[in-house]
Amino acid sequence: MSGWEREWFAASPVARLATVTPAGRPHVVPVVFAVQNDVVWMAVDGKPKRSRALQRLHNIAANPQVSLIVDHYDDDWTSLWWVRADGGARVVEQGSADEEAGLRLLVDRYPQYADQPPAGPVVAVGVDRWHGWRARDWLD
């Protein structure tokens, strides 16, 4: 890793979280997140959902290996890039210091959470590998 991957990932406003269902099917959802060192934090928030028992939480319980990806598209293909974070996810214990830290990072990052912070649960992904590609490197 040349060092730009985590920085560009962290600056993106939204990622796609990829998990695997217990039946082995892929499951991908958009998520908002915050990055601290090699941990990506996200939480179940108050946006309308059918249930708070989300598929992504069931998937993480069955198989904690996940990927998150952010990307940038432009009609000028010399500006294209993507970064993927691979690692192990865990649902953080409610009321723990980790939950508080993750929520604080999310509230600090997204002004929308100032009046209504996420209720949780909070998920922490310990990133084992940052991997990215950018057209700039390819063209040089």
Q: Report pLDDT digits (tens) over 64-112.
A: 999 999 999 999 999 999 999 999 999 999 999 999 999 999 999 999 9
pLDDT of 138 over the 80 cut = no
The answer to whether the CB of 120 falls within 8 A of the CB of 98 is: no
**pTM for this prediction:** 0.92
CA distances from 37 to 10, 14, 55, 115 (A): 10, 18, 27, 26
Q: In terms of DSSP bridges, do strands 81-91 and 65-72 run parallel, antiparallel, or are they unpaired?
A: antiparallel
**Predicted pLDDT of residue 53:** 72
Task: With H, G, I as helix, E, B as strand and everything else as coil, classify residue 61.
Answer: helix
Give percent of the chain with pLDDT exceeding 90. Answer: 86
pLDDT of 60 over the 90 cut = yes
Domain 4-139 has CATH 2.30.110.10: yes
Which residue ranges make up each domain of the chain? 4-139
